[in-house]
Structure 1
Amino acid sequence: MSSRRMRTIAGSLLTASFSAVMIFSFSAGADEGPMSDEGGKVIDEAPADVKLTTLLPEKISVDNSSQKTAITATVKNGGSKDSGEIRLLVVGFEGLTVKGVEGCSEIAKKDLPEGSNSGFACAIDNLAAGKSKSYDVDATFDLKKKGRICLPVQDAEGTKTFWQQGPVPFGANNPSPNAPATPLLLGTDNSPVTPGSDELPRTGPVRDVLPLGAAGAALLTAGAAGLWWTRQRSQS
């Protein structure tokens, strides 16, 4: 084989290798996709001209072997004035357990809202008008259970909740335990892996006695109340 042909082949291989690296890098850094404020509601009135909301990805993916997943939690000020000091809470319920939130502090077990299993508090000195701030959330999801997440936005002392998204579910109607990963959709109740069950997987004393419909209604009622444990703590 001539040296010219060998150089041509080597150059082609190098180009192909470089292209593959570029494609992989682009895929690895690809955007998570659309974000949504589904399940969000105003609780306490925010300061004048401050409009605080949160966003969650419409779709996440759970590794079926490790149960690990990653979620982006975003807080946004859609108003015309700066927010001042606020805090974002990231709280997990049932099969969804929050393991860590970048730059945030873990909430002590005794301070968690009733029914939750984990949570982190993210202090924000100020969120300028029209700006948003995103946090990388490490979590696990037990696909044999339902899983919900909640994002309250509060004042710095935690006495007022300006906005609360959730508890809103992530889930799949047909989990595939044999696949490498399971995609979950925001606003979808996760179906247990075992078919034909008319009761939620057991996750605690309350779950032992509540049928599926009543359990879902209880969570919605708790979410609609909105104030959680914050007002109880402010009154204590």
Structure 2
Amino acid sequence: MQGKRFGALIAATAAAVLFLPFTAAADDPGSGQGGKAGPSVPAGVKLTTELPKQIKVDNKAGTTSGLTAKVSNGGTKDSGPITLSVLGLGGMKITGVDGCIAIPKGRLLKGVNSGFACVMDNLAAGKSKSYQVSATYDLKAKGQICLPVTEGTSEKVFWQQGPIPFGTTKPTPNAPDTPLLLGTDNVPAGPAQPSEAPGSGGGLPKTGAGVALPAGLVGGALLLVGGGGIWWTTRSHRAARH
């Protein structure tokens, strides 16, 4: 089998993402808010991601609509192989990303409930690629989404947006759906579920003032890999590229 011949590939995308702190201005209307570039981005490559400013969630079914994930290269040089991951936390669960591979639950960091890895051979300078994302949202909890972009199947993070919340401060339980705004903490429509609060899983490494970086994370690697790496066969890898 091809899978056995070539073996499995490690994609260090979301298994143990080191969630970066972000500071988004209160008046920042951009859908790239909450994003931060990693220190290992090659000269001439400028990768960013974008999320919609607003999505909706069906109050009965809990399904979302209008959710997309876009990755762009605003630089002057091609990116080379990259992987975009779409991760759900708390009340937001990612159920599908068109053309991408589901990350096994056993490979997700504690605190991340779902994720998909989107492998690209290259993203040319000045080009972008959008993915349709399917997700569910529990309006009784707070939900977040995270978009890290890594170099190929390596541990180098070129860009990471989030974890950033989608939510509403004005629940509309009697309406057909509820609009959710990017960068807004959700006010639960019912009793809050502490176990669903972002970061409550206790497994999300953090950086920032007063928090020491884990050993070995000096300079480029903003992603913790090792036993938590995501594996898929060459066949699956090829399927994700189409």
Q: Shorter-chain TM-score category?
A: 0.7 to 0.9
Cα distance in 2, alignment partners of residues 219 and 234 from structure 1: 15
Q: Retained in 1: the 8 A contact 2:109–2:203?
A: no
Letter in 2 for 1:42: A
User: Which of 226, 232, 236 is matched with 2:225 structurally?
Assistant: 232
1:83–1:89 CA distance, 2 compared to 1 (3 A) = same
Q: Indicate which of 69, 76, 79 corresponds to 1:83.
A: 79
SS of equivalent to 1:230: coil
Q: Match for residue 114 of structure 2?
A: 118
Distance in 2 between the 1:175 and 1:223 partners? 32
* Cα distance change of structure 1 residues 234 and 108 upon mapping to structure 2, 3 Å threshold: closer
User: Which residue of 194, 214, 218 maps to 1:202?
Assistant: 194
Q: Gaps spanning 5+ residues in structure 1: where?
A: 1-33
Instruction: Quote the Cα distance in structure 2 between the aligned partners of 1:52 and 1:187.
Output: 20
Choose between structure 1 and 2 for higher RCO, CA contacts under 8 A separated by at least 6 residues.
2
Distance 1:149 1:135, change over 3 A: same
For the residue of structure 2 that corresponds to 1:231, the secondary structure is: coil
Structure 2 equivalent of residue 128 of structure 1: 124
Query: Shift in Å at residue 83 of structure 1?
Result: 0.4
2:6 corresponds in structure 1 to none
Alignment of 1:48-67 (within 5 A): 48-67=43-62
Counterpart of 1:55, as a letter, is E
* Alpha-carbon distance in structure 1 between the residues aligned to 2:135 and 2:206: 23
Q: Structure 2 matches for 1:1-236, cutoff 5 A?
A: 36-70=31-65, 71-194=67-190, 200-203=192-195, 222=206, 230-233=223-226
**Paired position in structure 1 for 2:20:** none
TM-score normalised to the size of structure 1?
Answer: 0.72
Q: Deviation string for 1:15-40 (max 9, x for gaps)?
A: xxxxxxxxxxxxxxxxxxx8611110
Q: CA separation of 1:175/1:235 partners in 2, compared to 1, >3 Å: closer, same or farther?
A: closer
Q: Report the structure, 1 or 2, having the larger helix content.
A: 1
Count of equivalent residues: 190
Flag as ranges the 4+ runs of structure 1 deviating above 2 A.
Answer: 218-236
SS in structure 2 at match of 1:203: helix
> Hey, what's the Cα distance between the residues in 2 that align with 1:80 and 1:74?
18
Letter in 2 for 1:90: V
Q: Is the 8 A contact 1:50 1:82 kept in 2?
A: yes
Tell me the residue number matched to 1:24: none
Instruction: Provide the residue aligned with 2:13 in structure 1.
Output: none
CA–CA distance in structure 1, aligned partners of residues 73 and 45 of structure 2: 7
Cα deviation, residue 108, structure 1: 1.0
Distance (Å, rounded) in 2 between the aligned partners of 1:138 and 1:235: 24
Q: Which amino acid aligns with 2:224?
A: R
Letter of the aligned partner of 1:192 in structure 2?
P
